Structure 1
């Protein structure tokens, strides 16, 4: 595993030390990327290493098969990564990257798995996150595995599974009457108050928010390594990625940069068009892209049952928009009605119960197939970012579905299940 050479701010390229935990560039408030000595890495990090590492392990290494391009740290792992790539039964060129197979049932396990590993390495005791749901569940799980206290701030109307996760993993759970932006404000205010009160440094919460620390990107970049390896070390024509905070899209683009620099992919190879998919009820990236803007505006009155897409202003909006334009992709919004229809369509015809976020991607894909912008034979990797079963309450409500009949008022104790 390589040592980190330095942390680098995304735009001004200021360099910071990775010897101590960092959040944002203090001079510019920019997000930070982890950088390695690539000349040194080229001598040892060959693209056959992930397969060799996995073959030599008695257990699944998951995303840690890419240890040669991840920070030198002892992993706090629950088996995250190396998720299935499922070929569509109806579209010969379409592959579904099933991130619901991760621990905690969502792609968030990757970023939080690495971020918590680094937090334990630094000796941090308290981690706080504002979340639309799945990041909170993932932090709660990995913090429990690491022996770190997790402080979760979620909107009150997140899927019930996310609230349950926080409780059963023993996290400090705060349910907020508002959006993820309100949760982020409350986390910031609490940390500011702790510092003002003179709490010892080890007792002050560390904000592990999207793009406000550098290691969630490192975990999410493994999706880029995986999809390329699973396609025989070739790029697809397009990547469809449900975009709330957009860390996965940013991480994959970073992975493509690294693979080309290391020679794992030929430099100058045609990269995939990157598509950011959102819900029409909360589509700040779509609006900014369509209007040709460099950054998004706060999306007023954000509302969608795709909880992970209810992010009214992503912190990394400028990075996301740059990637979309550089790749030749774009941002597309779908209505909740189209998202629900896509959930039902893919369940009945492909045997996949998608998350609402994943169905925002399939709805957009179907739209582009119908318009002719894409052909069914175009090689596309589409991310289902979470297991649909985590959203049973949200999907059932959208379908106006209720349990048939009524539950018994008392349950029998004896019989074939338990002793008489």
Structure 2
């Protein structure tokens, strides 16, 4: 695993050392990228090493197979990464990257595994996160594995599974009557209060919000390495990515840059499509209007909880990537998203998350318009297991449990004596 050469602002390219924990660029509050000595890596890192490492070490079967391009630290791992690439039964060129196979059932496991790994490496004792739901569940699990205290702030109407995860793993959970933006404000206020009241430095919470620390991107970038390796070290024509905070899209673009520098892949990068829900579509609105950044999306409402981010911190980066790649941003309404969940369950055997279904709806839309050609190779991300959303999907379907449950059940039968 390589040493970090420095951290670099994604906006102004200011460099910072990585020997102590860092949050944002002190000059313009830009997000920080982890940078390595690529000249040295070209001499030592080989793409074949990923498979060899995975074959030799069970701990490297997941995203840690890419240890050659991840920070030098002892992993806090639950087996995240190397998720299935499923070929659609109906669309010849379409592949679904099933991130629901990760620990805690979503792609968030990748970013939080890396963030908690580095928090433990730095000796941090308290981690805090505002979350639309799944990042909270992932932080709770990895913080428990790393024996670090986790402080979670979530909107009170997140899927119940997310609340259960926080409580189950032993995190301090605060449910907020508002959106993720309100949760973020509360985390910032709490940290400010701690510093002003003289709390010992080691007990002040460290904010690992989306793009406000450098290592969640490093975990998410492994999706880019994986999809290229799983396609025979070739780029697809397009990538469809559900975009709330956008870290996965940003991380994959960073992975493509690194792989090209290492000589692991060549050719034209894929067109990147960012998918949103029309009830919360700040990036889609900014894209359509030709703006370089988004505005706060008022009255955000969608049952795709992970897309309910009214003002992504990385909006400039997302828009830059989409435009540079020749892709676009597509927003779909909740009715279409629900219809796609039902369609894919019935015809493909996949229970998509609402976020993943935002991608399938967009694929159908662009296929019908001719922007996507039937023979093009497209990777679509289902960012979470649909089973984590049983309550919100059932509510959207107006589905209720039939009949009434018995108040007690007999114990016995074939397992134990009656």
Using the size of structure 2 for normalisation, the TM-score is 0.99
Q: 2:273·2:329 contact (CA, 8 Å) conserved in 1?
A: yes
1:272 aligns with 2:270: yes
Give the equivalent residue in structure 2 for 1:352. 350
SS of the residue 1:48 aligns to: helix
Kindly report which structure 2 residues correspond to 1:37-116, keeping only aligned pairs within 5 A, or say none. 37-58=37-58, 61-116=61-116
What is the distance in 1 between the residues matched to 2:225 and 2:387?
27
Give the equivalent residue in structure 1 for 2:223. 223
What is the distance in 1 between the residues matched to 2:225 and 2:194?
39
SS of the residue 2:275 aligns to: strand
SS of the residue 1:332 aligns to: strand
Kindly report which structure 2 residues correspond to 1:404-415, keeping only aligned pairs within 5 A, or say none. 404-415=402-413
Kindly report which structure 2 residues correspond to 1:188-207, keeping only aligned pairs within 5 A, or say none. 188-207=188-207
Give the paired residue count.
418
Give the equivalent residue in structure 2 for 1:214. 214
- The counterpart of 1:311, out of the listed 299, 309, 312, is 309
Unmatched runs of 5 consecutive residues or more in structure 2: none
What is the distance in 1 between the residues matched to 2:330 and 2:224?
21
What is the distance in 1 between the residues matched to 2:31 and 2:148?
24
Q: 2:53·2:60 contact (CA, 8 Å) conserved in 1?
A: no
Cα pair distance change 1:60/1:259, threshold 3 Å: closer
What is the distance in 2 between the residues matched to 1:78 and 1:410?
36
SS of the residue 1:3 aligns to: coil
SS of the residue 2:338 aligns to: helix
Unmatched runs of 5 consecutive residues or more in structure 1: none
1:237 aligns with 2:237: yes
What is the distance in 1 between the residues matched to 2:25 and 2:360?
36
Cα pair distance change 1:51/1:252, threshold 3 Å: same
Give the equivalent residue in structure 2 for 1:184. 184
Give the equivalent residue in structure 2 for 1:381. 379
Using the size of structure 1 for normalisation, the TM-score is 0.98
Give the equivalent residue in structure 2 for 1:401. 399
1:4 aligns with 2:1: no
Cα pair distance change 1:87/1:415, threshold 3 Å: closer
Q: What CA deviation, in whole Å up to 9, does each residue of 1:92-147 have, x standing for no partner?
A: 10000000000000000000000000000000000000000000000000000000
SS of the residue 2:136 aligns to: helix
Shift of 1:395: 0.3
What is the distance in 2 between the residues matched to 1:316 and 1:418?
56
Give the equivalent residue in structure 2 for 1:290. 288
What is the distance in 1 between the residues matched to 2:369 and 2:256?
29
